[in-house]
A and B are shown apart, each in its own frame.
Chain A
C-alpha cells in the first residue's frame, strides 16, 4: 500500500503531544519529593483520576488495533472481552478485594503475598511479573514501530528510540504521577481521536441498524450461538467464555495484575480506591463502541467490492490489525489524520509507561529491597526507582529488536498472561478468603499453576497433545485454547494450594489480621449517601452489563 501522507497540521498535533507529555513530566518533577510520590503518586488521587488511569493502563493501542481486527474476524463475540471478560472482575476488585489491598498499606501486589504468605511467594510472583512487564513493554514498542512503518513509512529505529526516550524521560522525572497524567491524556485522545471512525463508518453504511443487518447473523450476537462452537466465529462454547475468559483470565488480570491495581493504590483513601475500578467499569463497557463498531464497518466495506476497501495481506495472510488504520486513512482528512495517529501513539507510549512504572516499583521493593539490599534508605530506593526505569526501557528496546527478528513472539503474548495471572488469581482468592491456606501451599500451588500453564501452551503449540483435549470440544480455535488453558492452570493452582495447605503449617490469626476475610474489620462507609457508596454504584454497573448482554443476546 502507499503510505499515509501527513500535512503541516498533522505534524503540529503530533509535535504538540510530545511537548505536552514532556512538559507534564517536568512540571510534576518538583512535586516528586520522596519514594511515596515516585512509586505511589503520593497516594492523593481522586477516584476519577485513579479510575481513568486504571482503565487507560489497559487501553493500549495494541489492544485497540487487535480488537478491531478480532471483530472483523469473530464479530460481536469480541465484546465479551469488554463486558463479561472485564466488568464482573473490576466490580469484585472494588467491592471485595480492595479493602485487603489498600488497608494493609502495601506498595505492590507481591507485597501483599509477603504479608499474607512469605518472602519466597513474593519473590516468585515479582520475578514472573517483572519478566512479563518487560516483554509486554518491548512487544508494545515493536508493534508501534510496525504500525508507524507500515502506514506512515516512518523509520523503525527512529520510531522506537524517540518514543522510548520520551517515556524514559517523563517516567524518570516524576514516576507514577506522570504515568497517570499521560494515561488520562491518552484516554481523551483515544476517544476524540478514534471514536469519529465509528461515527463516520455508521454514516457511510447508513445507520447502526443497517450495520447489523449487513453482517452474517452469527456475527451480531453474544450468546445465542454459544451452545455449539461451530455456530460462532470464535469456535468457543459458552463454557469457555464464562470459565476461561469471564472467570479466570478476567479476574486474574483485573484483580491481581499490578499494572492496573497500582493505579487504585494511588487513591487518596479507601473509598476512592474502591471506587477506582468501579468507575472505570462504566468506561470499559463503552470501548466496544469504538472497536466493535469499527470492526463491523470494516467487515461490511470489505464485502462490498465497490467500496474499494480491503485489509492488507502479507504472504497470502490477511492482516486483521490493519482494519483500524485503514479506516482512519479512509475517513480522516489532513489535520484529523494527525489526531488519529497521535491517539495511536499515545496509546502505545502510555501502555509502555504503565508497564515501566509497574516494573520499577516491583523491582525496587519486591526484588531489590527484599533480596539484594534490605537496609536501603528512602533516598536510595528513589534513586533505584529511576535507575530501574532507564534499565527497564533499555531492556524493552532489546525485546523490541528481538521481536522484530522473531515475529512469532507475538503468539506467546497470551501464554505469558495465562502463565502469570491465571494461577495468581487462585492464590489471591484463597489467600484473601480462606485463613487456613499456608505459605507453603501458596508457593507450591502458584509454581504448579504457572508450570502447568506454560507446559500446556508448549504441548499444544508443538502438538504433543490434541488441542481438543484441552478445550473439551471437537471444534476449537487458538482463542478457545487460551481460555481453557487459563481455566486448567487456575484449577491446578487452586487444588495444589488446598492440598498442600492441609499438611503444612499455617500462620496465626494475629499475623493475618487485616489481610484475610473474617480477620479484618468490615468496611464502614459512615454518613456517605447511598448513591455515593461503592456497592450501590457497582450495582448500577452490573445492571447495565446485564442489559447490554440481553440486548445483544
Chain B
C-alpha cells in the first residue's frame, strides 16, 4: 500500500482551513459594512464585531493551519 494511503491530514488541519476561510469572509464583510453600513441595524453595531471577531477566527485558523501544515497521521 502506498504511503499516501496510510497517512492522512489530521483533523486540526481541516479545522484551520475552515476557520481561516470563515474568518476572512466575516472580516471582509466587516470591512465592507464599515464603508457601506447595512440597513439591518443591530445593537452594538458601532463596535463592528464582524471586524474583530472575524480577525480572531482568522488568527485561530492560521495557528491551526501553520502548526499542522506538514503533519500526517496514521
Report A's interface with B, CB cutoff 8 A.
5, 7, 9, 12-13, 16-17, 20, 24, 27-28, 30-31, 44, 49, 180-181, 184-185, 188-189, 192, 196, 200, 203-204, 329-336, 338-339, 342
Q: Are A9 and B45 in contact (CB under 8 A)?
A: no
* Number of B residues with CB within 8 Å of any CB on chain A: 35
- For B5, give the chain A residue with the smallest CB separation: A30
Query: Given A44-B74, A181-B11 in contact, is the A336-B26 Cβ separation under 8 Å?
Result: yes
Question: For residue B73, which residues in chain A have a CB less than 8 angstroms away from its CB?
Answer: 44
Q: Are A192 and B60 in contact (CB under 8 A)?
A: yes
Q: Are A13 and B43 in contact (CB under 8 A)?
A: no
Q: Are A192 and B45 in contact (CB under 8 A)?
A: no
Name the one of B9, B10, B18, B40 contacting A334, with C-beta atoms under 8 angstroms.
Answer: B40
Question: For residue B70, which residues in chain A have a CB less than 8 angstroms away from its CB?
Answer: none
Q: Are A181 and B14 in contact (CB under 8 A)?
A: yes
Complex CA gap A9/B26 in Å reads: 7
Query: Given A203-B47, A332-B42, A334-B33 in contact, is the A13-B11 Cβ separation under 8 Å?
Result: no
Question: For residue B56, which residues in chain A have a CB less than 8 angstroms away from its CB?
Answer: 192
Q: Are A200 and B44 in contact (CB under 8 A)?
A: yes
Could you jot down 9 A-B contacts, CB within 8 Å? A9-B29, A13-B22, A16-B25, A27-B9, A185-B14, A188-B19, A189-B18, A331-B49, A334-B38
Which residues 7-41 of B sit at the A interface, judged by CB distance below 8 A?
8-11, 14-15, 17-19, 21-22, 25-26, 28-30, 32-33, 38, 40
Query: Given A9-B25, A44-B74, A203-B44 in contact, is the A332-B49 Cβ separation under 8 Å?
Result: yes
Complex CA gap A12/B40 in Å reads: 18
- For B14, give the chain A residue with the smallest CB separation: A24
Q: How far is the CB of B66 from chain A (nearest CB, A)?
A: 16
Q: Are B11 and A184 in contact (CB under 8 A)?
A: yes
Question: For residue A333, which residues in chain B have a CB less than 8 angstroms away from its CB?
Answer: 29-30, 33, 38, 40, 42, 45, 49-50
Q: Are A336 and B22 in contact (CB under 8 A)?
A: no
Q: Give a binary string over B40-65; 1 marks a CB under 8 Å from any A CB, 0 the rest.
A: 10111101011001101100100000
Residue among A30, A188, A335, A336 with the highest chain B CB neighbour number at 10 A:
A335
Query: Given A20-B14, A185-B15, A200-B49 in contact, is the A331-B42 Cβ separation under 8 Å?
Result: yes
Q: Are A196 and B29 in contact (CB under 8 A)?
A: no
Give the total number of A-B pairs whose CB atoms are below 8 A apart: 102
Q: Are A13 and B26 in contact (CB under 8 A)?
A: yes
Q: Are B25 and A331 in contact (CB under 8 A)?
A: no
Complex CA gap A12/B32 in Å reads: 15
Question: For residue A24, which residues in chain B have a CB less than 8 angstroms away from its CB?
Answer: 14
Question: For residue B32, which residues in chain A have a CB less than 8 angstroms away from its CB?
Answer: 9
Complex CA gap A44/B73 in Å reads: 9
Q: How far is the CB of A333 from chain B (nearest CB, A)?
A: 5
Question: For residue A192, which residues in chain B have a CB less than 8 angstroms away from its CB?
Answer: 19, 22, 53, 56-57, 60
Q: Are A204 and B25 in contact (CB under 8 A)?
A: no
Q: Are B5 and A31 in contact (CB under 8 A)?
A: yes
Query: Given A20-B14, A184-B11, A192-B57 in contact, is the A335-B30 Cβ separation under 8 Å?
Result: yes
- For A30, give the chain B residue with the smallest CB separation: B5
Name the one of B9, B15, B60 contacting A184, with C-beta atoms under 8 angstroms.
Answer: B15
Q: Are A331 and B43 in contact (CB under 8 A)?
A: yes
Residue among B9, B15, B43, B45 with the highest chain A CB neighbour number at 10 A:
B43
Q: How far is the CB of A490 from chain B (nearest CB, A)?
A: 36
Question: For residue B60, which residues in chain A have a CB less than 8 angstroms away from its CB?
Answer: 188, 192
Name the one of A13, A181, A185, A189 contacting B25, with C-beta atoms under 8 angstroms.
Answer: A13
Name the one of B5, B15, B43 contacting A330, with C-beta atoms under 8 angstroms.
Answer: B43
Q: Are A335 and B33 in contact (CB under 8 A)?
A: yes
- For B52, give the chain A residue with the smallest CB separation: A196
Question: For residue B43, which residues in chain A have a CB less than 8 angstroms away from its CB?
Answer: 200, 204, 330-331
Q: Are B33 and A28 in contact (CB under 8 A)?
A: no
Complex CA gap A184/B14 in Å reads: 10
Q: Are B14 and A330 in contact (CB under 8 A)?
A: no
Complex CA gap A9/B53 in Å reads: 15
Complex CA gap A200/B42 in Å reads: 11
Complex CA gap A181/B57 in Å reads: 19
Complex CA gap A185/B25 in Å reads: 17
Q: Are A31 and B8 in contact (CB under 8 A)?
A: yes
Q: How far is the CB of B61 from chain A (nearest CB, A)?
A: 9
- For B26, give the chain A residue with the smallest CB separation: A335
Q: How far is the CB of A511 from chain B (nearest CB, A)?
A: 34
Query: Given A24-B14, A184-B11, A185-B15 in contact, is the A335-B50 Cβ separation under 8 Å?
Result: yes
Q: How far is the CB of A184 from chain B (nearest CB, A)?
A: 5
Complex CA gap A30/B5 in Å reads: 7
Complex CA gap A200/B48 in Å reads: 11
Question: For residue A17, which residues in chain B have a CB less than 8 angstroms away from its CB?
Answer: 18
Complex CA gap A31/B45 in Å reads: 46
Q: Are B42 and A330 in contact (CB under 8 A)?
A: yes
Name the one of B17, B19, B49, B74 contacting A336, with C-beta atoms under 8 angstroms.
Answer: B49
Complex CA gap A333/B33 in Å reads: 9
- For A342, give the chain B residue with the smallest CB separation: B22
Name the one of A5, A188, A189, A203 contacting B40, with C-beta atoms under 8 angstroms.
Answer: A5
Query: Given A9-B26, A333-B42, A335-B33 in contact, is the A16-B21 Cβ separation under 8 Å?
Result: yes
**13 additional contacts (CB under 8 A) given A333-B50, A335-B54:** A9-B28, A16-B18, A20-B17, A20-B18, A30-B5, A44-B73, A180-B11, A185-B11, A192-B53, A334-B50, A335-B28, A336-B53, A336-B54
Q: How far is the CB of B72 from chain A (nearest CB, A)?
A: 12
- For A24, give the chain B residue with the smallest CB separation: B14
Q: How far is the CB of B20 from chain A (nearest CB, A)?
A: 11
